[in-house]
Amino acid sequence: MEILSVKGVNKRFGGLKALDDVNLSIEQGHVHAIIGPNGAGKSTLLNCFVGRLIPDTGSVTFMARDLIGARPHEINQAGVSRVFQTPEIFGDLTLQENVMIPTLAKRDGAFTMNAWTRVDSQGEIRDKAMHMLEDVGLSDKKDMTADSLSRGDKRRLELTMCLVQDPKLLLLDEPTAGMSRADTNNTIDLLKRIGERGITMIVIEHDMHVVFSLASKISVLAQGTVIAEGQPEDIKGDPRVQEAYLGGTHV
Ligand code: ADP
Ligand code: MG
C-alpha cells in the first residue's frame, strides 16, 4: 500500500529549477532511499513533504491527505517526523528533557515555556522519554546536556526525538553524515530495528553501504529529476546512475 504519493512536483528558486517534475511512490513499511549528487534537490524534496517549502506545482499526498499548504506542525501531527541534515536539538537541556519536548510538540502543535512547565509535571511523558532512551542505548547519558554528546550520539538523540512521536513516516536526511564507521553501523542496526516495527522511512544518504544495507527501493535524483528508480540490484548496475552518481566525484 502506498503511504506517500508525490506527483509532478516542481520547485524553482529564482532561475534555478531545483525540482523538475518529480514523481515518487513510497510503499508503507518499506525503506526508500533517495540518492544523488550534491545539489540534486534531495533536501528540497524533503522540505516539500514537511511543509517547510511549498512546491510551485504538483501534489504530495500522505495517507490520502493532501499535504500541500498544510503547516509543518499539522504534517507532524498527521504522523510525519523528520531528522534534519544538521541535528536540531536543545544543547543546554538534558537528553531526557530533549526527548520529552517532541511529545508535547506533537500534542500541542508547538512548545512554549509555559508548556514546558506542564510537561515537567507529567510523569507519563518522562517515563516514555526514558523508555525511548533505553531503546536506543542512550539511557546512561540521560542527565547529560545534549551539547556534550559526540556527533554520532547527537544524531541518535535526534532520531529518538522523532521516534518518541510514534511516526508513521520517518524522513532522514543524511542520518550518518560525519559519523565514524562504528557509529554508522550502530545507526544501520537501529534503523533496521525501527523498520521491523513497520515504520516507513525515506532515507537520503551518500554512504552506499548504508543505502544498500537498508533500502528496498532506491530513487536516483539528479538536477531535480528522478533519473532512475528500482531495487538496489537494478540501481547498482544502471549505467546512467554510475555516470551521474556512483562513479562521480560527489560520492
Ligand atoms: P541536495 O540536498 O540534493 O544536496 P538541495 O535540495 O539542498 O540539494 O539543493 C538543490 C538546489 O537548490 C541547489 O542548487 C541549491 O543551491 C538550491 N537551493 C536549495 N535551497 C535553496 C533556497 N532556499 N534558495 C535558493 N536556492 C536553493
Ligand atoms: Mg541535502
pLDDT in tens, 154-178: 989 999 999 998 999 999 999 998 8
Cα 25 from Cα 221, distance rounded (Å): 14
Nearest bound ligand to CA 173? 2
Which residue, among 179, 175, 218, has the nearest Cα to 31 in the 3D structure?
218
Query: What pLDDT does 152 receive?
Result: 86
Q: Determine whether the shortest distance from the Cβ of 42 to ligand 1 is under 6 A.
A: yes
d(CA 164, CA 133): 9
Test site for ligand 1: of 16, 22, 220, most ligand atoms within 8 A of the Cβ: 16
Residue 139's pLDDT is what? 95
Contacts of 79 (CB under 8 A, 6+ apart): 62, 63, 166, 167, 168, 169
Measure 140 CA to ligand 1 centroid, in angstroms. 38
Taking residues 36-44, report their average pLDDT. 94
Ligand 1 centroid distance, CA of 110 (Å): 27
* Long-range Cβ contact pairs of 227-232 (< 8 A, separation 24 or more): none
119 has pLDDT over 80: no
Greater model confidence, 242 or 23: 23
Residue 102: all three cell numbers together: 517532541
Q: What's the pLDDT score for residue 54?
A: 97
What is the pLDDT at residue 105? 72
The closest-lying atom of ligand 1 relative to the alpha carbon of residue 204 is: 2
SS (H, E, C) 129-175: HHHHHHHHCCHHHCCCEHHHCCHHHHHHHHHHHHHCCCCCEEEEECC
Query: Using one digit for the tens of pLDDT, what is the confidence trace for 178-221?
Result: 888 998 999 999 999 999 999 999 999 989 999 999 999 999 99
The residue whose CA has the least distance to atom 7 of ligand 1 is 43
